[in-house]
Amino acid sequence: MRFRRTLPSGAAAVIWLMGVIAQAAPDPTAGGPPAAPGREMAQQATRGPQRWITSDHSKHEALKQPFASGPEVTRACLSCHTEAAAQIHRTIHWTWVDPASPPEKPMGKGALTVNNYCVSIHSNEPRCTSCHIGYGWQDNTFDFRDPTKVDCLVCHERTGTYKKFPAGAGNPAAKPTVFPGDGKTYEPPDWNRVAQSVGRPTRDNCGMCHFYGGGGDAVKHGDLDSSMHKPNRALDVHMGVDGKNFDCTRCHTTRAHQVAGRIYSTPAATERTPLTRDDLTPRITCESCHTATPHKPGIKANDHTDKVACQSCHIPEFARVLPTKMRWDWSTAGKMKDGKPYKEKGPLGFPVYDTQKGDFLWEKNVRPAYFWYNGTIDALSLKDAVDPSRPVAINWPVGSPQDPNSRIAPFKLHAGKQPYDTVHKTLLVPHLFGPPGSEAYWQKYDWRAALESGMRRAGLPFSGEFDFVETTYVFPTTHMVAPKERAVACSECHTRENGRMAGISGVHLPGRDANRVIEVLGWATVLASFVGVGVHGIGRAVSRRRKEG
């Protein structure tokens, strides 16, 4: 009974107390923990979708005229955007040549760059240039100065219906056409509809090429694939449709069609300027928005930013939704089943063997490789001699622990085995794609003929002798930034066994590194102490017993 009587007053006291506590506690939405410097400003700079342009393109007369081809649309665009084609002509999106590379050794897909996927575009243009932002790069006679050859639509149309034909040298299909590579029918575009839909590029525009590099979904980058069309927050904390829902251009800010980002050996940014210091700085680096001390004051991770790239901790794995290609062995290509080319699917649902291409290895949730990196990636050219006795690095991150601009950064390391000239010691360009009757490998399955044709059309010498060499190719891992709760734990690097930093030298890493001499002497001293007190203790016990006895 007594309990019953005191209960209401006790409960009231508890409620009153809770009220006091609630009043005293800081409101998490208003104040909360101290925000990291620059956070508020960064959020302002990137807030919400809104209309950025003052024009409705469906109301423009120029876009209502009948169109039969891409160049006709481009001409209409240029009737207002007078400088657009000239701007585009200066970008790497158009030239496929690194403007910073020396004229005697131009680098880029359109020049002497080579990879360990389909190796080179030379002789394979109509297939490869389906991802060129132009119309008709059929071979080396393409006129790079023609303004009407610029494809405005592939980057700016927003209906999602505009598709270039995969083997059309950048042109969409003129009539419904089946592409044998994927068996899909490609329809000609509704030119007026796509032309009137234009706006700022979305994830789908950029993704149309960049998610499918290497000839298919998820093949190349590991951190860019079709799962990034509509990623969730867990896959990419910035681009997640349930998160910040960024488009690519939020970070790849653009001036006069020059898109911010690394171009071969030219870093995306040489100055680490945060928006808090310059509100017009490109937002291409993490530090642009997050500053060099992005964590709460006093958090140790702030002390890591001088040595460790943000991506190293915040992208724990790449290829988290779709598996990505990790190895491509051309040397096994050409096997037939019942006299016919065939494909074999692996456990992840992607082909592990293809007569046209050889053996593949696909991996999902891949832990990146780590290298010192200052934003520059240097590469071999098709003219450079290689040492076939060990795996050839086709490209490699530049950086060192002594360089204050270098950080430890994550990479996808793609292994390959591809043809090289055993006499000239250079990597070789295979002519892969071509019409029936051509020398193309995918027609005749004759390596020598395909290499002969490829090198001839690339304007490079071929001795006629070839073999296959192991190669590596790096991609910086910078997309698929995970939410902070999924960041790499301290112990994954600060550990002696199989840590993420196992291959990184030039930095003292507690938990991994120790002075081995001190270590041995130290344990010897501790052991000697134990032995000493042990012997002494036994001696005392014995002498006492003897005395008592």
Q: List beta partners, residue 178.
A: 185
Is 425 a binder of another protein (CB under 8 A)?
no
d(C-alpha 149, C-alpha 133), whole Å: 9
Is 536 a binder of another protein (CB under 8 A)?
yes
Closest distance of CB 309 from another protein, Å? 16
Whether 85 and 145 have beta carbons less than 8 Å apart is answered as no
Is 297 a binder of another protein (CB under 8 A)?
no
Point out which span in 141-149, 308-316, 394-402, 505-513 binds another protein (CB under 8 A). Answer: 505-513
Contacts of residue 194, defined as CB under 8 A and 6 or more positions apart, other chains included, come to 73, 153, 157, 159, 161, 162
Is 459 a binder of another protein (CB under 8 A)?
no
Structure tokens belonging to residue 251: 């970070």
Among 16, 144, 342, 523, binds another protein (CB under 8 A): 523
Select from 170, 163, 123, 129 the least CA-distant residue to 148.
Answer: 170
Is 505 a binder of another protein (CB under 8 A)?
no
Among 91, 217, 494, 502, binds another protein (CB under 8 A): 494
Point out which span in 211-219, 322-330, 391-399, 510-518 binds another protein (CB under 8 A). Answer: 510-518
Kindly give the pairing relationship between strand 358-363 and strand 351-354: antiparallel
CA distances from 123 to 96, 419, 422 (A): 15, 16, 21
Is 530 a binder of another protein (CB under 8 A)?
yes
d(C-alpha 438, C-alpha 245), whole Å: 47
Is 549 a binder of another protein (CB under 8 A)?
no
Comparing CB distances to another protein, the nearer of 23 and 515 is 515
Is 512 a binder of another protein (CB under 8 A)?
yes
Closest distance of CB 503 from another protein, Å? 17
Point out which span in 23-31, 73-81, 471-479, 514-522 binds another protein (CB under 8 A). Answer: 514-522
Is 514 a binder of another protein (CB under 8 A)?
yes
CA distances from 498 to 201, 415, 491, 493, 494 (A): 42, 21, 11, 9, 10
Closest distance of CB 537 from another protein, Å? 6
Comparing CB distances to another protein, the nearer of 365 and 529 is 529
Is 525 a binder of another protein (CB under 8 A)?
yes
Q: List beta partners, residue 308.
A: 408
Point out which span in 17-25, 112-120, 451-459, 527-535 binds another protein (CB under 8 A). Answer: 527-535
Closest distance of CB 510 from another protein, Å? 6
Is 515 a binder of another protein (CB under 8 A)?
yes
Is 7 a binder of another protein (CB under 8 A)?
no
CA distances from 325 to 201, 212, 221, 239, 415 (A): 27, 12, 9, 23, 9
Q: List beta partners, residue 398.
A: 376
Is 403 a binder of another protein (CB under 8 A)?
no
Compute how many residues bind another protein; rule: CB under 8 A. 35
Is 545 a binder of another protein (CB under 8 A)?
no
| Dihedral (Cα; 435, 441, 443, 449), 10-degree rounding | 90
Rounded (to 5) percent helix, strand, coil in the chain = 30, 15, 55
Is 490 a binder of another protein (CB under 8 A)?
yes
Comparing CB distances to another protein, the nearer of 110 and 316 is 316
Q: List beta partners, residue 134.
A: 150
H-helix or E-strand spanning residue 2: helix 2-24
Is 303 a binder of another protein (CB under 8 A)?
yes
Point out which span in 59-67, 136-144, 324-332, 507-515 binds another protein (CB under 8 A). Answer: 507-515
Is 464 a binder of another protein (CB under 8 A)?
no
Is 47 a binder of another protein (CB under 8 A)?
no
Closest distance of CB 106 from another protein, Å? 41
Is 532 a binder of another protein (CB under 8 A)?
yes
Is 547 a binder of another protein (CB under 8 A)?
yes
H-helix or E-strand spanning residue 466: strand 466-476
d(C-alpha 72, C-alpha 129), whole Å: 20
Is 533 a binder of another protein (CB under 8 A)?
yes
Among 80, 521, 545, 549, binds another protein (CB under 8 A): 521
Amino acid identity of residue 77, one-letter, is: C
Comparing CB distances to another protein, the nearer of 175 and 508 is 508
Closest distance of CB 213 from another protein, Å? 37
DSSP of 84-146: HHHHHHTSHHHH-S-TTS-TTS--STTTTB--SSS---TT-HHHHGGGSSBS---STT--TT-
Give, as ranges, the residues between 361 and 400 that touch another protein (CB under 8 A): none
d(C-alpha 284, C-alpha 474), whole Å: 20
Amino acid identity of residue 124, one-letter, is: N
Among 23, 347, 518, 549, binds another protein (CB under 8 A): 518
d(C-alpha 124, C-alpha 451), whole Å: 12
d(C-alpha 47, C-alpha 41), whole Å: 10
Closest distance of CB 303 from another protein, Å? 4
Cα Rg of the chain, angstroms? 30
Comparing CB distances to another protein, the nearer of 87 and 495 is 495
Is 529 a binder of another protein (CB under 8 A)?
yes
Comparing CB distances to another protein, the nearer of 340 and 508 is 508
d(C-alpha 549, C-alpha 538), whole Å: 16
Residue numbers at the binding site for another protein (CB under 8 A): 300, 303, 306, 489-491, 494-496, 508, 510-515, 518-519, 521-523, 525-526, 528-530, 532-533, 536-537, 539-540, 543-544, 547
